């Protein structure tokens, strides 16, 4: 197996919303600004007002509005509230981080072993990659406890406050050590790492910890991030190069294990798992395929014609370049990127130069190829990786309710399969409306939602219930399926019998309901490719 790309980007996200004077002349300024907007949204947890983005990026309000309008057109954000008062990241944006994780291959190859170890030990297990003098998580298998981990896939942490950090530092160059020193001098409290609490007074013994990790082949975190949090880490090495591909960690709390206890009781089992992971890395990569040219150029041209100056075409084309990479396309030449996106070579080249400048892409001059870096995960992945199916469905249900002027709902089966539980709702302002709240449970066989869930209907069929649960209540439902094609939820439209006949439900309500279900499924499939999406 070829060596996984070694992440070597800056730990802090790019903060400049305008192109600095030292940037290459070919840098695409609108793309730099668009990346800055996405990173500020990410740091804010996924939601900011346009005025908040204006302050966070230093961009003019008109520029912010054009960028967010373009991102909304791409489906990467939605504008909520009156006059778009909030800009909210959407699951569609996860296609950028998914491209990096797929090209990296490590989550797909190793996550099952990490999950199994977490189940066996009843402790959280994570996989992380190095990001210059920081680390980023690429997989989390967490335990559901009152006191549990809050780290998300894509979160960035300073190396010196983690267990994986000293292991990665054993392979650092002098430039990496210098960069860490400069970063600590300018940010002594780690304010540039929003995933962790600010640094308190602590000894800077990172050099000694790195030397110890080099001798031992493993590393400990004894409450470096915050009091009570402990972890033990072991490097997973690429079989071909013996360099660190990623680091596996078992994370616990001092109420369950001390740091020394992790070393004596859990480290041996972690090492066994890492040995098995290294064998998994010997699996050959998928054979390369030539991705068909997309209709990106046509789509962006049409969007530009429709939206005019509110659509930033260079930003849309530039962001799509990131999606050219994947499991069977971890490294691409300029020609291959242009072919995969349907862009002109000159356009693709300028986007790649911009990404290299921002640390999102690395260029290998010897092979003339480009690879994605972990910084791609800074484009929305951390907050979106903790989404749930009700959160995914809610805006789509609201759009559906506004379109048909009837209530729309999402429900799942309870464990007994005897009842359904409503998990998301969008009501309409009518004098007489269907009054059901989230959390309500109803008999599965007496509801359209329940029948759709129990029957596991093919996509072209549906469930219609007419006055069976309550006189005058009529509802039509369709299933929601996961990436494997399993029915995991159902969506419905409920109405009063006086407003729609059964035939009208099929003719007028079913088509928009199907479209809504398709949109919910598309977001669910995108979000669940490398993360677990709770159904409730």
- pLDDT reading at 28 higher than 70: yes
- Could you tell me the pLDDT band of residue 447, with boundaries at 50, 70 and 90? confident
pLDDT of amino acid 433:
55
Report whether 432 contacts 421 (CB < 8 A).
no
Sheet with 47-48: list strands edge to edge.
47-48, 86-89, 77-80
Mean pLDDT calculated for residue range 322-338: 94
- Could you tell me the pLDDT band of residue 289, with boundaries at 50, 70 and 90? low
99 versus 225: the higher-pLDDT residue is 99
**Concatenated DSSP letters of 233-283:** EEEEE-TTT-SEEEEEEEEEETTT--HHHIIIIIHHHHHHHHHHHHHHTTS
- Please report, for residues 166, 362, 425, 500, the alpha-carbon distance to residue 230 in angstroms, rounded to integers and kept in the order given: 15, 33, 40, 60
CA dihedral 312, 314, 318, 323 (to 10 degrees): 60
Q: What is the mean pLDDT of the chain?
A: 89
Dist. CA 181–CA 220, nearest whole Å:
22
Mean pLDDT calculated for residue range 325-339: 94
Q: Please state whether beta strands 407-413 and 419-426 pair in parallel, antiparallel, or not at all (unpaired).
A: antiparallel
Query: pTM of the entire structure?
Result: 0.91
**Residue 255: CB atoms within 10 Å:** 8
pLDDT of amino acid 501:
85
Mean pLDDT calculated for residue range 34-57: 96
Q: Which domains does the chain have, with CATH numbers?
A: 29-98+287-384 (1.10.10.10), 109-260 (3.30.450.40), 389-527 (3.30.450.40)
Write down the number of H helices and E strands in the chain. 19, 18
pLDDT of amino acid 430:
60
- pLDDT reading at 11 higher than 90: no
pLDDT of amino acid 428:
83
Q: Identify the CA nearest to 78 among candidates 46, 51, 56, 55.
A: 46
- Please report, for residues 143, 298, 326, 421, 447, the alpha-carbon distance to residue 438 in angstroms, rounded to integers and kept in the order given: 26, 42, 38, 8, 15
pLDDT per position as a tens digit, 371-420: 999 999 999 999 999 999 999 999 999 999 999 999 999 999 999 889 99
- Could you tell me the pLDDT band of residue 464, with boundaries at 50, 70 and 90? low
Which range has highest mean pLDDT (195-209, 281-295, 467-481)? 195-209
Sheet with 332-333: list strands edge to edge.
332-333, 369-372, 361-364
* β-bridge mates for residue 137, sequence order: 128
Q: Identify the CA nearest to 422 among candidates 405, 410, 408, 404.
A: 410
Mean pLDDT calculated for residue range 426-437: 69
- Could you tell me the pLDDT band of residue 355, with boundaries at 50, 70 and 90? very high
Dist. CA 37–CA 379, nearest whole Å:
9
Q: Identify the CA nearest to 35 among candidates 341, 522, 373, 527.
A: 373
- pLDDT reading at 196 higher than 60: yes
Which residue carries 């409503």 as its tokens? 422
- pLDDT reading at 183 higher than 90: yes
């Amino acid at each position: 197996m070829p060596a996984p790309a070694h992440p070597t980007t800056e730990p802090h996200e790019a903060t400049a919303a305008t192109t600095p004077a030292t940037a290459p002349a070919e840098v695409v300024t609108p793309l730099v600004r668009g990346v800055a907007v996405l990173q500020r949204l990410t740091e804010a947890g996924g939601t900011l007002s346009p005025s908040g983005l204006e302050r966070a990026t230093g961009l003019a309000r008109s520029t912010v509005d054009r960028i967010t309008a373009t991102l909304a057109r791409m489906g990467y954000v939605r504008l909520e509230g009156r006059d778009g008062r909030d800009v909210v990241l959407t699951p569609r944006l996860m296609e950028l981080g998914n491209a990096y994780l797929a090209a990296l291959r490590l989550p797909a190859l190793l996550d099952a072993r990490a999950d199994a170890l977490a189940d066996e030990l009843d402790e959280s297990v994570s996989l992380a990659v190095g990001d210059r003098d920081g680390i980023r998580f690429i997989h989390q298998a967490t335990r559901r406890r009152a006191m549990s981990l809050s780290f998300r896939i894509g979160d960035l942490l300073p190396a010196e406050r983690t267990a994986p950090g000293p292991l990665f530092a054993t392979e650092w160059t002098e430039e990496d050590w210098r960069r860490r020193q400069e970063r600590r001098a300018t940010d002594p409290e780690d304010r540039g790492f929003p995933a962790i609490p600010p640094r308190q007074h602590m000894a800077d013994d990172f050099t000694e910890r790195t030397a110890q990790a080099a001798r031992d082949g493993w590393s400990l975190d004894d409450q470096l991030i915050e009091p009570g949090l402990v972890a033990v880490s072991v490097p997973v090495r690429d079989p071909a190069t013996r360099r660190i591909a990623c680091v596996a960690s078992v994370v616990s709390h001092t109420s369950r294990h001390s740091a020394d206890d992790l070393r004596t009781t859990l480290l041996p089992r972690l090492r066994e798992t890492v040995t098995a992971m290294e064998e998994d890395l010997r699996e050959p990569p998928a054979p390369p395929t030539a991705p068909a040219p997309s209709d990106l150029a046509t789509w962006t041209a049409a969007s530009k014609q429709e939206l005019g100056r509110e659509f930033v075409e260079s930003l849309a084309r530039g962001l799509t370049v990131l999606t050219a990479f994947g499991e069977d396309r971890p490294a691409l030449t300029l020609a291959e990127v242009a072919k995969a996106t349907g862009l002109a070579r000159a356009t693709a080249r300028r986007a790649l130069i911009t990404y290299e400048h921002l640390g999102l892409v690395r260029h290998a001059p010897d092979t003339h190829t480009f690879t994605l870096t972990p910084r791609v995960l800074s484009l929305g992945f951390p907050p979106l990786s903790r989404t749930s199916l009700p959160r995914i469905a809610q805006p789509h249900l609201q759009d559906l309710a506004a379109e048909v002027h009837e209530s729309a709902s999402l429900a799942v089966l309870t464990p007994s399969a005897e009842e359904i539980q409503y998990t998301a709702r969008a009501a309409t302002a009518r004098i007489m409306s269907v009054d059901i709240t989230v959390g309500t449970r109803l008999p599965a066989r007496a509801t359209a939602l329940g029948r759709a869930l129990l029957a596991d209907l093919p996509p072209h069929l549906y469930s219609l219930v007419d006055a069976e649960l309550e006189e005058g209540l009529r509802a039509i439902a369709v299933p929601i399926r996961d990436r494997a094609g399993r029915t995991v939820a159902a969506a419905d439209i409920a109405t009063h019998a006086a407003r729609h006949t059964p035939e009208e439900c099929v003719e007028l309500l079913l088509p928009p309901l199907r479209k809504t279900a398709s949109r919910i499924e598309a977001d669910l499939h995108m979000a669940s490719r490398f993360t677990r999406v709770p159904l409730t």
